[in-house]
Amino acid sequence: MRKPRLIYENDARHHLLYRFAPPLSVHRLRQPVDELLGTSVDTLFYGFVSQQTQPFEAKAGLYWLWHRSEQAQVMWWRGGQNLKQALEAGNDPLKIAVDRAHEHGIQVLTWLHWEAREPDSDDFNTYSDHVDPEVRRRRLETIEDACDRYELDGIGLNYYVPSTTFSAEVGRPTDAPNNPPALTGFVREVRALLDRIGEKRGQRLGLAVQVHSNEDANTESGLEVRKWLSEKLVDLVVPTSPHPNSPQDTALLDTNPSLDWMVEAAHEAGAWVYAPIVNAVYDDRQYEATIEMYRAAATNHLANGADGLYLSSLRWPHTANEYEILREMGYPAVYSRKTKHYMLGHRAADSGAYAPVRKLPIMLEEGVPSEVTVFVGDALDAARQDGELDRVTLGVRIVQVGDEDTISFKLNGHDLPVEQATIEWIYGGSVSYMAQRGELPRRIHTHLWYTFHVPPNALQEGENVVQVTLDRRDDTLITDRVLHAMEIKVFYDEPHSPSGGQM
């Protein structure tokens, strides 16, 4: 497996099997690859391989959607009928996708999910547990089947599900946390199997793992990530994106990186880390991350040691906005001196022990400074020397500000006079469906947006400390003053964009 430039995930269901009425033509079965051509994506994670959920008729088990194709849910019916009819016509969806990708120099891997419904079960709460030797044997058969028949470039092991909390939610506690050696033994078996298959092909097949971004959460789940890396079993690590339904860790963008332990452990072992960027934001101005936000998140991840990016679930069918993301994210030089929007994430509705550390929101207390750190990965000094840094703005949202409140602001110790800020009074608005799924408040109440033009040398590379102080509180308004959002925008001297007949 070669080092990816940019990874994109297509689960083969939501953007293919569910979305078209049967039958699927060969042209449509090629679409998950064809829609990436001309972008910087050179590695595709495609579909699901977990015995019951895979885009082919495996020797080790039936395709789950096919099994459930007579259910009332039209989404599952379409998926099952599309797969069944394609295979009956001699059009194997996975073979068509892999062959098409290889034709265009794109390597393909697929995720083996740690949980799967038991064979022939209609019970959503019945799950296989991989500490069971028989389950591991069946999964190894599935891996060998998929890699031999389709010449996949590797396999990914997705360990998101075995967290104690999530397994309890779906109805059956896993034994994985009580038996880490069994899981590590399975990873060793997968590595050995991939090596045997790769030796016949004359290449090393990649082994990727998707694990919790918090190291302690992996330990509690029985995932010995450092051991897998130190034994050089793993080539690529992807921190899991937050689950949209989890109040402990909502799937919302935060451009501040927090993958230090993973980057350190992976690089010591010669492995790579590919950081995900989620595209939902907690805001009432926009619901999806903009290209400027993607640039900021990508810049920070790379500045903190990540080897590249792992993207998924972009709006589909792709528009010019998605293609701008897919083109730029594989080439940092393209966006290094383009506008960036650094945006802090919101604390989860029910912050568990392993939820990302997020400062916002903060209840402001009279006379008590509140400090928030914003990481900026841009090479600012070099841009200043070249005369290409145009301007920097700091934006702060404070909810429920009284007319007689007095608030002061500082950036890295520099006073930011309020009288020089642009202040907008916003009645407030609703937030995205994704934010609401994570049980965050569905509405942002009336607030003020403060926008400061930052002095040229006040912003620094790396960590920047913003201090907000409620110096005087208007006691005629009894509601809490809440430091709700903070953002930094970095603008560069870019060419004029012509309109009309301009040159």
- DSSP codes joined into one string, 139-201: HHHHHHHHHHHH--SEEEEE-STTSHHHHHHHT---SGGG-HHHHHHHHHHHHHHHHHHHHHH
DSSP code of residue 296: H
Q: How far is residue 86's CA from residue 97's CA, in Å, rounded to a whole number?
A: 13
* pLDDT tier for residue 242 given thresholds of 50, 70 and 90: low
Question: Rounded to 5 degrees, what are φ and ψ at 159?
Answer: -105, 20
Question: Residues 123-152: what's their mean pLDDT?
Answer: 75
Q: Is the pLDDT at 187 greater than 70, yes or no?
A: yes
pLDDT in tens, 68-102: 555 667 887 888 888 888 888 999 888 999 999 99
Structure token digits, residue 305:
């040691």
Give the per-residue pLDDT at 364: 98
Question: Residues 445-471: what's their mean pLDDT?
Answer: 96
Q: Is the pLDDT at 350 greater than 50, yes or no?
A: yes
CATH assignment of 7-240? 3.20.20
Q: How far is residue 90's CA from residue 316's CA, in Å, rounded to a whole number?
A: 27
* pLDDT tier for residue 166 given thresholds of 50, 70 and 90: very low
Q: At the top level of CATH, which class does the domain 362-492 belong to? A: mainly beta
**Which residue bears the tokens 């332990």?**
261
Q: Is the pLDDT at 50 greater than 70, yes or no?
A: no
Q: How far is residue 53's CA from residue 66's CA, in Å, rounded to a whole number?
A: 9
Give the per-residue pLDDT at 312: 92
Tell me the one-letter amino acid at 444.
I
Rounded to 10 degrees, the C-alpha dihedral 343/348/349/350 comes to -170
Other C-beta atoms closer than 10 Å to the C-beta of 103 total 10
Q: How far is residue 398's CA from residue 407's CA, in Å, rounded to a whole number?
A: 10
Closest CA to 454 of 417, 425, 423, 494: 417
Give the per-residue pLDDT at 65: 54
Other C-beta atoms closer than 10 Å to the C-beta of 36 total 22
For the chain, the average pLDDT equals 87
- pLDDT above 90 covers a percentage of the chain that reads 61
Q: 477 burial class (0-12, 13-18, 19+ CB within 10 angstroms)?
A: middle
CA angle centred on 230, ends 224 and 232, rounded to 5°: 105
CA angle centred on 96, ends 90 and 97, rounded to 5°: 150
As a residue count, the chain comes to: 503
Question: Residues 29-34: what's their mean pLDDT?
Answer: 96
pLDDT in tens, 308-343: 999 998 999 999 999 999 999 999 999 999 999 999
pTM of the model: 0.92
Concatenating the DSSP letter of every residue in 372-395 gives EEEEE-S-HHHHHHTT-EEEEEEE
* pLDDT tier for residue 433 given thresholds of 50, 70 and 90: confident
Enumerate the H helices of 21-163 as residue ranges.
26-29, 31-34, 64-67, 74-88, 93-103, 133-150
Give the per-residue pLDDT at 162: 46
Q: How far is residue 93's CA from residue 30's CA, in Å, rounded to a whole number?
A: 8
Q: Is the pLDDT at 437 greater than 90, yes or no?
A: no
**Which residue bears the tokens 């007949």?**
501
Query: Residue ranges of the domains in the chain?
Result: 7-240, 362-492
Beta bridge partners of 431: none
Closest CA to 111 of 328, 282, 310: 310
* pLDDT tier for residue 422 given thresholds of 50, 70 and 90: very high
Q: Are strands 482-492 and 389-399 parallel, antiparallel or unpaired?
A: antiparallel
Count CA atoms closer than 13 A to 175's CA, side-chain side.
11
Contact between 61 and 347 (Cβ < 8 Å):
no
Question: Residues 185-192: what's their mean pLDDT?
Answer: 95
Q: Is the pLDDT at 486 greater than 60, yes or no?
A: yes
pLDDT in tens, 362-375: 999 999 999 999 99
Other C-beta atoms closer than 10 Å to the C-beta of 430 total 13
Task: Name 121's Cβ contacts closer than 8 Å, sequence gap at least 6.
Answer: none
pLDDT in tens, 103-134: 999 999 998 865 544 444 544 444 456 667 87
Roughly how many angstroms between the first and final C-alpha of the chain, as a whole number?
Answer: 45
Give the per-residue pLDDT at 132: 74
Q: Is the pLDDT at 59 greater than 60, yes or no?
A: no
* pLDDT tier for residue 173 given thresholds of 50, 70 and 90: low
* pLDDT tier for residue 52 given thresholds of 50, 70 and 90: very low
User: Which region, left, alpha or beta, applies to residue 222 given φ > 0 means left and ψ of -120 to 50 means alpha?
Assistant: left
